[in-house]
Chains A and B, each alone.
Chain A
Amino acid sequence: MITKPHLEEAMYRAMALAATNMPPDVRAALERVLEEETEPLARQHLQVSLDNADLAAKGEGLVCADTGFPMFFVKAGAQTRIEDGFGAVNECAARATARATADCLLRPTMVDPFTRANPGDNVGNGMPKVELVFEGDGDGLEVIAAPKGGGSEIFGTFYRMLFPADGVAGVKKFVVECIRDACYAGKICPPAIIGVGVGGTADLCMALAKKAALLRRVGFHHSDPALAVLEDELTNAARSLGIGPMGARGVNAVLAVHIATAATHTAALPVAFNAQCLVGRRWKAILDGSGHATFTGEI
């Protein structure tokens, strides 16, 4: 049995670690592109961002002050038991988010969409966003805290219903248009990780894109070789646009393109685009069946 205090504490710590540490795979990808970029401004954008993350890890600030949309991706096993049932996951997520905000690890950013009223704790209708899925036979729980920056979500979200006759060419055209739009003047804080969802319903399609951008190790290819080739083709297309870090002149506006698919209607070819910014914040808590938690930046 995982108690609510254990779960809340694990969610709080995962969010705190996400806010103050750059994941190792993201850092490695940024260091790799820093080696490659030759334009001074592009290089400076990258070096400054890496230095900023170092300061955050030393307790001198945050990986990015726009701590964005608070999200938790939770995975449970068939034997997982939580005090008061799985509804407690939402309750613990809200409390963990409010605590992280009170401790200035998250900025109070979530507001009512119409009145714009800010409760000051990042908790509101549907926020923090919690996704709960069941996988495997275990009794533990995996929690990924992902404070997703506003820039990447606000300027890096697109959806289009294509049709079968539009073909792969349509998917490619759409993704390149989105990359160009999203990276203009550094709106999504490139170099970005691009999630592309193809298929499903509109909401499933976007969820695929989002999870491909946020939860996959940077550059980890789709298991289908044809889609892995398409991921590389789209990454190379982005490299040829002439846009680099933070929208400056350069090569690497995109660290990787991650594609995810779902079955869809025979009449439809839905495509969703969701970007993750260069700091790529996410941190994982792994709880065993007794609620003991370990934390990792690996994914």
Chain B
Amino acid sequence: MKDIKLPLSAAAARDLTLGEQVTVSGLLFTGRSRFHIRAIEDNIFPPIEYSALNCFFHVGPVMRQKKDGSWEVVSCEPTSSIRFERYGADVVRKFNIRVLIGKTTMGHRTAEALRDVGGVYLSKIGVSGNALRSQIKKIHGVHFLEELGKTEATWVFEVERFGPFFVAIDAQGHNYFEKLNADVEKALPEVERTLGIPVGYDYTGVNADE
């Protein structure tokens, strides 16, 4: 299995194929809704060297503070990236992000942004937060902990052979789940026929006809 060295180059991103499984090694940063909203709406974002940190991990890790004040990861499960679609493309372009890691997928606008910068979206495999925890080798820092709390704060992790994840959006903009969804669409008429739902069935309308 390929291990992606972070930060990822555009050329290396374009070499990854849809559905391919990979691990990542190097530095990444975390964030969820609050990162996206604040970065784009308020221009507030962690003071990170984004050219050296171009992997954005969508997660709210469970963090424990030890007696000496240092932190440890209890478990970290990728969160649903599709929630961030409103801001996803702008975040990718603003910080030149080449690797997004999360759960689910993202939409067309983010896929286009990834295609333009030369980046991929990696989706999680199973519920794996405890295995991922053991692949985080060092916690390099945390930003906005006071304002946002442990879950929405941005953590900087150094990871080694982190994953595996699968390429759900490649650097050409293809999306594993959209292809699958097209097949589901094709299967639907037969599913409805088997259930005895009449062809062309619709719910009762109770408003003015459009």
Interface residues of A (CB under 8 A from B): 41, 44-49, 51-53, 55-56, 60-67, 104, 107-109, 116, 118, 120, 150-151, 154-155, 160, 162-163, 165-166, 169-170, 172-174, 176, 180, 184-187, 189, 233-234, 236-237, 240-243, 245-249, 278-279
B128 contacts chain A at the CB level, 8 A cutoff? yes
Contacts A169-B198, A243-B180; A64 near B187 (Cβ below 8 A): no
Ranked 8 nearest A-B pairs via Cβ: A48-B126, A61-B130, A65-B77, A65-B75, A118-B149, A65-B129, A55-B130, A185-B104
Of all chain A residues, the one with the shortest Cβ separation from B187 is: A242
Residue among B130, B131, B177 making CB contact with A62, cutoff 8 Å: B130
Complex CA distance for A107 and B62, rounded to whole angstroms: 5
Partner of B82, one of A162, A187, A279: A187
Min Cβ gap B72→A in Å is 9
Instruction: Determine if A155 and B74 form an interchain contact, defined as CB atoms under 8 angstroms apart.
Output: no
B91 in contact (CB, < 8 A):
no
Interface size on B, as a range, is 35 or more
Minimal beta-carbon separation of A52 from chain B (angstroms): 5
Q: How far is the CA of A106 from the CA of B118 in the complex (A)?
A: 37
In angstroms, Cα B166 to Cα A163, docked, is: 44
| Residues on the B chain within 8 Å of A165, using CB | 204
Known: A151-B80, A166-B204. A52 touches B130 (CB 8 A): yes
Cβ–Cβ contact A169 & B201, under 8 A: yes
B127 touches A49 (CB 8 A): yes
16 contacts between A and B (CB under 8 A): A48-B128, A56-B75, A60-B133, A61-B75, A62-B62, A65-B75, A66-B79, A107-B150, A120-B149, A163-B203, A172-B197, A176-B188, A176-B192, A241-B187, A247-B104, A249-B180
A64-B204 CB under 8 A given contacts A172-B195, A176-B191, A240-B191: no
- Distance of A48 from chain B, by nearest CB (Å): 3
**A62 contacts across to B, CB distance below 8 A:** 62, 74-75, 129-130
Asked if A52 and B126 make an inter-chain contact with CB atoms under 8 angstroms apart, the answer reads yes
Q: How far is the CA of A55 from the CA of B125 in the complex (A)?
A: 16
Q: Which residue of A lies closest to B181 (CB)?
A: A184
How distant is the Cα of A5 from the Cα of B144 in the complex, in angstroms?
Answer: 36
CB-based contact B203/A166 at 8 Å: yes
User: Is B192 within 8 A of A173, CB to CB?
Assistant: yes
The residues of A that contact B180 with a CB separation of less than 8 Å are 242-243, 247-249
CB-CB under 8 A from B192, the residues of chain A are 172-173, 176
Q: Are A247 and B126 in contact, CB atoms less than 8 angstroms apart?
A: no
B79: nearest chain-A partner, CB-CB? A66
Q: Which residues of A contact B194 (CB under 8 A)?
A: 236-237, 240
Q: Report yes or no: B62 in contact with A118, Cβ–Cβ below 8 A.
A: no
Task: List residues of B whose CB falls within 8 A of some A CB.
Answer: 19, 34, 59-64, 74-77, 79-80, 82-83, 103-105, 123-131, 133-134, 148-152, 166, 168, 177, 180-181, 183-184, 187-188, 190-192, 194-198, 201, 203-204, 206
Residue among B62, B104, B128 making CB contact with A104, cutoff 8 Å: B62
Can you name the residue of chain A whose Cβ is closest to the Cβ of B104? A185
Name the distance in Å between B81's Cβ and chain A's nearest Cβ.
9
Residues of B within 8 A of A109 (CB): 60, 151
**Whole-angstrom CA separation of A209 from B195 in the bound complex:** 21
Closest to B74 in A: A104
* Set of chain B residues within 8 Å of A155, measured between Cβ atoms: 80
Among A65, A109, A233, max chain B CB count under 10 A is at A65
Q: How far is the CA of A176 from the CA of B184 in the complex (A)?
A: 12
* B130 lies within 8 A of A184 (CB): no
User: Please, which residues of chain A bring their CB within 8 A of the CB of B206?
Assistant: 163
Q: Considering the chains assembled together, what is the distance between the CA atoms of A62 and B203 in angstroms?
A: 42
Residues of chain A with a CB closer than 8 A to B150's CB:
107-108, 120
Closest chain A residue, CB of each to CB of B190: A240
Write the chain B residue with the least CB distance to A164: B204
Contact A66 B197 (CB under 8 A): no
Cα-based distance from A41 to B125 in the complex (angstroms): 8
CA distance A140 to B125 in the complex (A): 42
Q: Which residues of A contact B149 (CB under 8 A)?
A: 108, 118, 120
- B187 engages A240 (CB within 8 Å): yes
- Assuming A48-B128, A108-B149, A246-B126, is B195 touching A162 (CB within 8 A)? no
Complex Cα gap A108–B131 (Å): 21
